[in-house]
Structure 1
Amino acid sequence: MGLLVQKPPRYLPLLLLRKIMASRCLSSSCSSSFHSFSSLPSISSSSSLLFTPRVTFPLRRFPSLFLVQNAVSPRAFMSSSTATESVQERTSSKAYGSDQIQVLKGLEPVRKRPGMYIGSTGPRGLHHLVYEILDNAVDEAQAGYASRIEIVLHLDNSVSITDNGRGIPTDLHPVTQKSALETVLTVLHAGGKFGGSNSGYSVSGGLHGVGLSVVNALSEELEVTVWRNGKEFQQKYSHGNPVTALTCYALPEESKDRQGTCIKFWPDKEVFTTEIQFDYSVIGGRVRELAFLNPKLTITLRKEDDDPEKSQYDEYYYGGGLVEYVNWLNNDKVLVFSDEFCLLVVVPAAFIFCLSLVFNFCHLTYLLELFMVSFIHGELKSIVDGIKFLKMLHVFTYL
């Protein structure tokens, strides 16, 4: 016989949790027991949940997954690199003065609160490190200086990303009195993507001057190589700090024209709460999107393996851009209308500056409203012109 005779509301777990917490507080004993479901009142009278008679049964009979079903490990979303921070020794002093105000310098804030910069210390945050370096390389391509990006997932769980762009500047920075390369790797909010007359990019993605230094801070080791002005520059870092001086070598005559940047990093095991292992398919999905968004760009992805037969390699190049992406999305669908005229536009995804709008479509809503108003006022000669307008703004549509 069922214990609940009516469909439980979606907030039932919350009500049960409130009941358990309240009864544990009201009880004078600390027995390892929970409330029986049979003691629950009718769901409609939820206000009485806190004051029902206490009935106990052994803990082993209570399904522990009931309260943590579909939950994610709390550590995966902790912004601290230390799992035990919440139980650190607390001072009993009630004094609160200037001594209690902490000042974090350099990259300390990143290591103290990594989730603030990469979202989590779980798999999502781990892969975000790759995306930050990749976004920098894509910015070079969008600026017209790079045409190829190579990504390698190495056997030692490190990742290297190489582009043939202009290369990070290595001359002395007037403010920090360090090389520009060391500046962008060790100083937060140092980069060429903040706009204005001195900006190095007209459009860009990523964390605008934060991404490279964040990856450096959260890496056990990082190696950077820059090819620029007929020379090769190299420097190594550990936990965000330089461990070698910037070295410079003249390139051989046959390689004098080589330009670009290579970043190789080893994520710090002390920071991440997940196994340091990159998912080839996850990174491949992001790389495919970027290749569609940048039709003149070639991106290669390779994963090394002890067994050559298990190694993976893919090359992404889509000269058709958005049109080819739409065709790829619709490869298993039947074309109902001609691609030259369509009355219905269904938008499954949107991107701005190569960044996917997953959680908020307000930008897309604005563009669609602008499209309709322009069409009604006669500013767009036809719906076809409107669709081309949406394509230009990187709004993907099923045609």
Structure 2
Amino acid sequence: MTSTVVEQLIVPIRRSVTRVFNYSRNVKGLKTHLEELSDAKTRVLHSVDEARNRSEDIEDDVGKWLASVNVITEEATRVFGDEDKANKRCFMGLFPNVTTRYKVSTKIESIAEEAVKISVRGKFDRVSYRPSRRGIEDRSHKHYEAFESRGPVLDEILEALKDDDVDLVGVYGMPGVGKTTLVKKVAGQVKAGKIFDVVVLAVVSQTPNLRKIQGEIADGPGLKLDAETDSGRADFLYERLKREPKVLVILDDIWERLELDDVGIPSGSDHRGCKILMTSRDRNVLSRGMVTKKVFWLQVLPENEAWNLFKKMAGDVVKYPDLQLVAVEVAKRCAGLPILIVTVARALKDGDLSEWKDALERLKRFDKDEMDSQVYSALELSYDSLKGEEIRSAFLLCQQYRVVER
């Protein structure tokens, strides 16, 4: 009993005395811990800067750790400011001020212990992550028009993509009929339904740029292509896509056969989980050139859907009795092509009757019996007389129809 009481009295006294006599050692130890913590902070900040240059987001615990380093450093700075008090001596300068030295030494020990804990927590395997990217559909087609006539084609494409025996699926149709819009809608649905883990889209075009196609595919899952050669980039892309269990690669606007191996896209027996969805103006490009197993024809809008879309884009002006008949004829001359319907309707939205009639006359230039005459005449809207950059751009785009269809 007596020994226990003595021990309870002596231990606190010994601890206090030790803190006083170890004051200088504690100060030196804390400074060492702070230097190590500062070096660790610098290394983490370097990693953070590199991650931000890659447009990556910083992990929450990294931000909290950096904040805790700043807090403990500020606390230590304040305590070191009390060193002068701790070094003051009493009894005619013969002895140190024990009370002050004890208080400062106690604070230093506490801060040093916390600094060690913070240092241990600062060993990160990674400081950042790639932010989830907006879906292909969300990026440009959140205002997708759900036409009833497109429903069956959309459903058939989705079913084909779910078929384990089908790896290549194609959609063909006239320029401006809405192929790109449709496949982007497909992309949104398969992602929402978790049918595919990764969905990427690349535009091939009439003059394919292999590096651009590879880059657009790599952007989907956030890959970085460091290889200098096209073949090196293709090898990396190929191996990386093979790691994904379910991948959908959308190749938009194909004009001729594209060698998938040259791009770096695994297909067939190389990767059963990788499906390729393609669009083209020419059915033969898909069925013969790309040997596509499932090919779907996207037709122009039926008259009722075309008129409803035209009214929506043109606004209340088409309700005016003196304009309505002209508006109906103009809508028909847009040949059921969404891109033309939207562009022409918007361009004439604020126009008066004379402008509408002038546009109709220009749309009537071609013989109705001529093949695709409705399309051609729609393209002949006057570049000079129509207002706005939008309609001017559409006119230039639409000139391509005549070249393609001839």
TM-score, normalised by the number of residues in structure 2: 0.26
Q: Select the structure that is richer in helix.
A: 2
Larger Rg: 2
TM-score, normalised by the number of residues in structure 1: 0.26
Q: Select the structure that is richer in strand.
A: 1
